[in-house]
Amino acid sequence: MFQNRAEALALALPAAFFAAAVFLMPVAILLSDGFRNPVGGWTISAYTDFFADPLNRTVFLRTLRLGAIVTVVSAVLGYAAAFAIVNLEPGTKGKMTGLVVLPLMISPVARTYAWIVILGRTGIVNQALQLVGLTDAPLRILFSETAVFVGLLQLFLPLMIISLISALENMPKDAVPAARVLGANWFQVFWKVILPLTKEGLVIGGTLVFTGSLTAYITPAILGGSKVLMLETLLYQQVSVSNNFVSASVIAFILIVMSFAANILLKRVATARNKQRVPQ
Amino acid sequence: MSARSLFIPLTLFLVLGFLIGPFLIIVAASFSGGETLAFPPQGFSLRWILKVFTVESFRASFGMSMFLAIGGTAAALMLGIPASYALSRYKLPGAEIVRTVVSAPIIVPGIIVGLALLRYIVVPFQVGITPALFLAHTALVLPYAVRVVSASLDNLRSDIEEAAVLLGSSRLGAFFRVVMPNIRGGILSAFILGFVTSFNQVPVSLFLSGPGVRTLPIDMIAYMEIVFDPSVAALSSLLAFLSIGIVFAAERFLGFSRYV
Amino acid sequence: MKKVILASGAALMLTMGAAQAQEKTLTISVYAFAQDEFKQLVYDPFEKICGCKLVVETGNSVERLAKLEANKANPMVDMAVVSMADALAASRAGLIDKVDTAKLSNFNKIYDVAKDPNGDGMSVGYTFYATSIAYRSDKMKIESWADLLKPEYASHIAWPNVTTNQGPPALYMLGLALGKDTPDLAAPIEAVGEKKGEIVTFYEKSSQLVQLMQQEEIWAAPIGRFSWAPFTKLDMPIAWANPKEGQTGGMNVMVVTKGSKNRELALQFMDFWLSTDTQTKLAEKLIDSPANKEVKLSDAIANNLTYGEETAKSLKLIPSAVALDNRAGWVKTWNEKVGQ
Amino acid sequence: MSDAPYLSLEKLTLAYGDTVAVANLDLPIRKGELVALLGPSGCGKTTTMRAIAGLLPVKSGHVRLDGADITRVPANKRAVGLVFQSYALFPHLSVYENVAFGLKLKGMRGTGLDAKVRSGLTSVGLSSFANRKPAELSGGQQQRVALARSMVMEPKVLLLDEPLSNLDARLRLEMRTELQRVQKETGVTMIFVTHDQAEALALADRIVVMKNGKIEQIGSPEDIYNRPTSSFVADFVGFENIFPIEQGKMKTSSGLIDLSGPAPSAAGLAWRPRMVTLGSGPFRGTVRGTSFAGDSREYLLDTPFGPIKAEVEASQPAHALGSDLSFDLPAEKAAPLSRFA
């Protein structure tokens, strides 16, 4: 550790100043708009107005619901996939991890558009369903919450898997065999051993997936359209169609509060664990 | 094999299919001979791949996105490397505040960043859309730059700088002679991560588009809304292979994944 | 690393430099459709004439209006084409200036209704369009606007969102069909709301419909005639409905932004767009129906357009002021009945 | 060896922020001396070393080297070498380039540079490893590279941070010999920091024992080992039975106790286990523990004035656990302590 304060500040301040000026200040002003009373002073009436509108309530709850469902499903699939991957041979493990990361390198625009082809009335999902005879007429999947859910899941599942892979790898190697020897069945092993030991990874992955789902724009816009508005698409509509910046500010604030709530949750759990480590 | 021992690999197989499938469909559709984006593709041809290069707006927005991704990431690194260095090597007063401020753009939804910049930087200060996009993308990449560079600095013992100083080097010289060469991999990883993040970024750029100024993803959305031909699939495939190539090379030569 | 930084620095300077090098630049804001054709028929020829560079911003009318509003203090756009109602909105918001029609040599060639549609001298009409229903003639039969909401059809249609140009006219015609044509559009919105679960999507950009039609996601949608051409190229039996309530439609107009630094160039461009030659070429490609009365078209072309002053006059249009004064109410009712 | 101090620390006060780590320290060191700074962690020995190197700003006081005040001279202009505990080799450079690093900064080039680097490497026996990267060397080899890297700079003072602590027992001996040889051949003034008394005793000409940022005792290894002047030093070098003295008597938990022989005038007395007479004497204790160490046997006795450790030759008959023994703490054998704390 170097002691020179002036040097430290000279190195750190440009970045901090840049982020503050280009990012924090404008965002702070934007958020303050939602609390400004047009006749002067401050008020939360924009918020009460916002939640008084049934459409807004619907959109808010839908955003929360979809975010939660995507997070839960990605956790379930994530554990299965991550567990399978960490138990592979080192070489195969690397390749499989690569395949999981691969979609993250591809433009979300392309990834979302693929779903139009897949989920459409003439898409392969409907073709398959009709082939197996599960349905006579093609199902309508596009422009529904299901389509948005599928799109979001595909977008963010890799983040969950990666978090869980590293959590599972950091788990003591003998924990599972030890629990088995002590007579636990697989369900108990997961619930009493794996889950507590990988809690941190689950929380990190969960926050990434949840926050990502809240703030995704293209997926709800393309796969949901105006029938499946989410907060982010509603915000865009408020600005670009209704010119309603106060409402946009309210939505922005709600989104940020939701992200922060998830983030704080993450930090709490993570630091609770870090305390157990011996400081260097 | 018991049912249970099959269950986990089968799930992995399905999950990978779910994750990779759409990409494969996009790639297959790029070589379609048909007029519209469809799967299975109708026939085989390279015409959509070739068409990508003739669409003028793609060329312009590709240039814009490249400029933002390279320039913005480089700018973020120029701000982020010194900050990371201060955070990892100095007893910095208010270190937590600095860390929070520089990593804040990762938490705030992109669409809000874009809107805030439009309303309170572009309009009041009469900043052009291009510089505004540049600022936004720099701010967006900054958290990644700081995170990855800090991680690689923390992995490097700090006493080698003191050793260099005692051997006659100045502090700045020590940074360039012994620190930089050893965090090069981290910097390159940060660059790639920043590049990919910036290049694929949509929400931030949503409000920050102006006459003749558009990032590639925004342009792709706009194009697809008008023309539903496979050229966007072709473009996506090309871009995907480009990113995969870069990441693969980085992983191969530098162990990229250590830093992410 | 150093190389990367140097390279990006160079790229930065190049871009900045390039931006400064373009001296005479006209920035226009237009609808997103048919840009390839516009480029070929309008933009490129004009660039040759004026020796300037055209910068084109595209998007739907409301979205671009919102941008004009956002950039009010420092307008980036010199000239825009928007809907009649949006032109009135822009005029009320102080975003546009009076059009100096004396400088438009083709002004006297356009239909009288197009010369000053809002009666405030702030806009000039350049095209009409009818709005009716494009539909799959093999799957359905459309004789009335209300047919779209029939149970067997409702789950195969897209309806324009109330915020689009086609939204209110389509609702207005639906109201006529239902026999409840109050300006608040309450009845038709309610009727659409009852079917909101079935209706495939409430579209915001008509360009997206071609793809939905192609994928058989939808069989029918109310559209403006200007977005008709791509449907005719689909390998499907698609027809233009002639409902018994008639067709609705609209007029698109040109406006000049307040504070534009290229006023003369903007007027020159508007004049070029209104010229018989340009209007004919655009009509022949089935892009925009002409507002210039000297344009002569073959029957085949005319049948796919909204051609002639008589046709234009027959369209059941919502007056701009009515549209503007009721818009907030429509959106509110829509959000209550349809949106959520 | 001249008697005038070559390196001297005068009233040196060092601090991290507001926490004072070293206070008012005076230490003269002669040219060519090999000095050990010995003490437990947190005693200020490393802080002092970093201040000599110039890595830590001096709060007050002076550092003089070879007649010049170098208190404010930056670390890169001091001609002070430092072999880090971790060796701090540059991982991206080869062994050769590591050794050449400082010479190149001095402007040395071409054959002069090459000769110097080669001879540096040869002197530590690593000439055949010139092209290896540090990661490809063992710990001992890395340390010798670090030594060569510092020595080719011909420093006026060479500092070593815990030079033997990361090595195994065999290498430790080897390195100790190596350091002594280098010191003898070059005559460089060496100061090393250690928490291990055996290391200090074996290597140093003079030992400086530090505690809480102050010097506790300075002396030759023999002085420190045999004649500790304070209870702290006595404890540190293995005197395990230490008692304060009051009114010529030994002060214990069960009161003042007379010792055999003349009444001592010191503030305290300290006995190594070996100095305790077992089997005869005025005191009695019970055997609580015993351990066999080859040629000797150690006993832990429970006595009215606390536990006493005694050590006798293994050839003596063994005493069983629980047996009652007489013993003596002969005052004439004890090390007299002038300070007891």
- Give the tens place of pLDDT for each residue, C140-165: 999 999 999 999 999 999 999 998 88
Average pLDDT over residues C234-241: 91
Chain A contact present for D57, CB below 8 A:
yes
Asked if B165 and D75 come within 8 Å (Cβ–Cβ), the reply is yes
Q: Is the pLDDT of residue B219 over 70?
A: yes
Instruction: Say what the pLDDT of residue A270 is.
Output: 57
- Kindly list the domain boundaries of chain B, sorted by start residue: 55-258
pLDDT at B2: 53
- Average pLDDT of chain A is 86
Mean pLDDT calculated for residue range D43-54? 94
Lowest mean pLDDT among A126-140, C81-95, D203-217, D316-330: A126-140
Angstrom distance (rounded) from CA D259 to CA D252: 12
In the structure encoding, which two tokens stand for residue A78, read together? 């994530």
Higher pLDDT: C57 or C274? It is: C274
Q: Is the peptide bond before B40 cis (omega within 30 degrees of 0)?
A: yes
User: What's the pLDDT band for B3 if we cut at 50, 70, 90?
Assistant: low
Residues of A in contact with B110 (CB under 8 A): 215, 217
Q: What percent of chain D lies above the pLDDT cut of 90?
A: 67
Q: Which residues of A touch B97 (CB under 8 A)?
A: 16
* CB atoms B91 and D17 under 8 Å: yes
| Token pair of D251 as six digits | 């002060």
In sequence order, the β-bridge partners of residue C4 are none
**Do A and C have ≥3 inter-chain CB pairs under 8 A?**
yes
Q: What is the pLDDT of residues D112-146, one digit of tens each?
A: 999 999 999 998 999 999 999 999 999 899 999 99
Cβ(D228)–Cβ(D335) below 8 Å: yes
Q: All domains of chain A, ordered by start, with CATH?
A: 54-111+156-275 (1.10.3720.10)
Q: Which residues lie below 8 Å from residue D8, measured CB to CB, with a gap of 6+?
A: D26, D27, D28, D29, D62, D63, D64
CB-CB neighbors (< 8 A) of A22 in chain B: 117, 121, 135-136, 138-139
Mean pLDDT of chain C: 87
Q: Per-residue pLDDT for D262 more than 80? A: no
Q: Which long-range contacts (CB under 8 A, 24 or more apart) does D247-250 make?
A: D250/D305, D250/D329
Count CB neighbours of B196 within 10 A: 21
What's the pLDDT tens digit per position in D181-237?
888 899 999 999 999 998 899 899 999 999 999 999 999 999 999 999 999 999 999
Report how far apart, in Å, the C-alpha atoms of B32 and of each of B219, B228, D273, D299 are: 22, 13, 92, 91
- Residue C328: per-residue pLDDT: 84
Two tokens, residue B51: 């068409």
Residue D279 zone, left/alpha/beta (φ > 0; ψ -120 to 50; rest): left
CB atoms within 10 A of CB C215: 19
Chain-chain contact of A241 with C203 (C-beta, under 8 angstroms): no
- The most confident of the ranges A111-125, C62-76, C320-334, D208-222 is D208-222
A54-63, C12-21, D156-165: least confident range: C12-21
Q: Is the pLDDT of residue B226 over 80?
A: no
Task: Please state the length of chain A.
Answer: 280
One-letter amino acid at B152 equals S
Q: Is D56 touching A (CB cutoff 8 A)? A: yes
H/E element, A124: helix A124-132
Highest mean pLDDT among A9-18, B52-61, B225-234 belongs to A9-18
Q: Is the ipTM of this complex over 0.90?
A: no
Asked whether residue B232 carries a pLDDT value surpassing 90, the answer given is no
| Helix, strand, coil % over all residues of chain C, rounded to 5 | 50, 20, 35
How would you class D19 by CB atoms within 10 Å of its CB: exposed for 0-12, middle for 13-18, buried for 19 or more? exposed
Any idea which residue has 């892979």 for tokens? Answer: A165
* pLDDT tens digits for range C194-207: 999 899 999 987 77
State how beta strands D296-303 and D335-337 pair.
Answer: unpaired
Q: List, in order of start, the domains of chain D with CATH numbers.
A: 5-233 (3.40.50.300), 240-337 (2.40.50.140)
What pLDDT digit, counting tens, does each position of B102-149 carry?
A: 988 887 888 888 889 888 888 778 788 899 999 999 999 999 999 999
Residues on chain A touching C90 (C-beta within 8 angstroms)? none
The answer, yes or no, to whether residue C15 has pLDDT greater than 80, is no
pLDDT of residue C303: 83
Tally C-beta pairs within 8 A across B and D. Answer: 67
Size (chain B), residues: 260
Joined together, the tokens standing for residue D6 give 């070559």
Contact indicator for D294, D313 with CB cutoff of 8 Å: no
CA distance B62 to chain A (A): 13
Given CB atoms, is B173 within the 8 Å cutoff of chain D?
yes
- Is the pLDDT at C19 greater than 50, yes or no? no
Of chain D, the percentage scoring pLDDT greater than 70 comes to 99
Give tens-digit pLDDT for D63-92: 999 989 999 999 999 999 999 999 999 999
Residues 3-22 of A with CB under 8 A from D: 3
Listed in sequence order, the residues at least 6 apart from B217 whose beta carbon sits closer than 8 Å to its beta carbon are A107, A108, A109, A218, B65, B199, B200, B201, B202, B205
Residue A276 confidence (pLDDT): 44
CA angle, A251 then A257 then A259, to 5°: 105
Q: Are D212 and D43 in contact (CB under 8 A)?
A: yes
State the architecture of B55-258 in CATH terms: Orthogonal Bundle (1.10)
* D269, D337 contact by CB (below 8 A): yes
- Which stretches in chain A have pLDDT values below 70? 1, 3, 266-267, 269-280
For chain C, domains (ranges, CATH) are 2-128+250-310 (3.40.190.10), 129-249+319-337 (3.40.190.10)
pLDDT band at C2 (very low <50, low <70, confident <90, very high): very low
